Chain A
Amino acid sequence: MRFGQHIALLAAALAVMPAAHAIEFSQLQPAKSAVSFVYKQMNVPVEGSFKRFKGELSFDPAKPEAARTMIEIELAGVDTGFAEGNDEVQGRLWFDTKNHPVARFVSTSVRPLGGNRYEVAGRMSIKGRTLEVKTPATFRQAGNSGIFEGAFVLRRADYGIGEGMWADFGTVANEVQIRFRMTAGAAAGKM
Chain B
Amino acid sequence: MHATTGYTRTAIGLHWLVAVAIVGIFSLGLYMHELPLSPDKLKLYSWHKWAGVSIFLLVLLRIVWRLSHRPPAPPAGMPAWQRQAAEGVHLLLYALMLAVPISGWLMSSAKGVPTVWFGVLPLPDLLEKNKELGDLLAAVHKTLNLGMAGLVLVHAGAALKHHLIDRDEVLVRMLPLLKNP
Contact = CB atoms under 8 A, between A and B. Distances in A.
A44 B115 contact: yes
Contacts of B116: 42-44
B129 to A, nearest CB: 8
B113 interface: yes
Nearest to A85: B37
B113 A171 contact: no
A158 interface: no
A40 B114 CA distance: 11
Given A42-B46, A43-B119, A43-B120, A82 B39 contact: no
B39 A46 contact: no
A120 to B, nearest CB: 29
Contacts of B42: 41-42, 171-172
A41 B38 CA distance: 12
Interface of B, helix, strand, loop or mixed by DSSP: loop
Interface string B127-155: 00100000000000000000000000000
Interface in B76-118: 111-116
B119 A46 contact: no
B43 interface: yes
A46 B122 CA distance: 12
B43 A171 contact: yes
A47 B128 CA distance: 12
B35 to A, nearest CB: 10
Contacts of A45: 114
B46 A82 contact: no
Contacts, number: 45
A132 interface: no
Interface in A59-105: 81-82, 84-85, 87-88
B46 to A, nearest CB: 4
A1 interface: no
Contacts of A84: 37
A165 B38 contact: yes
A128 interface: no
Given A44-B113, A44-B116, A45-B114, A171 B37 contact: no
B42 to A, nearest CB: 5
A172 B119 CA distance: 12
Contacts of A43: 116, 119-120
Given A47-B112, A84-B37, A166-B39, 12 more contacts: A42-B46, A43-B120, A44-B122, A45-B114, A46-B112, A81-B112, A81-B113, A81-B129, A82-B112, A168-B39, A170-B39, A171-B43
Interface of A: 41-47, 81-82, 84-85, 87-88, 165-166, 168, 170-172
- The 7 lowest CB-CB distance pairs between A and B, nearest first, are A43-B119, A42-B46, A171-B39, A44-B116, A84-B37, A81-B112, A171-B42
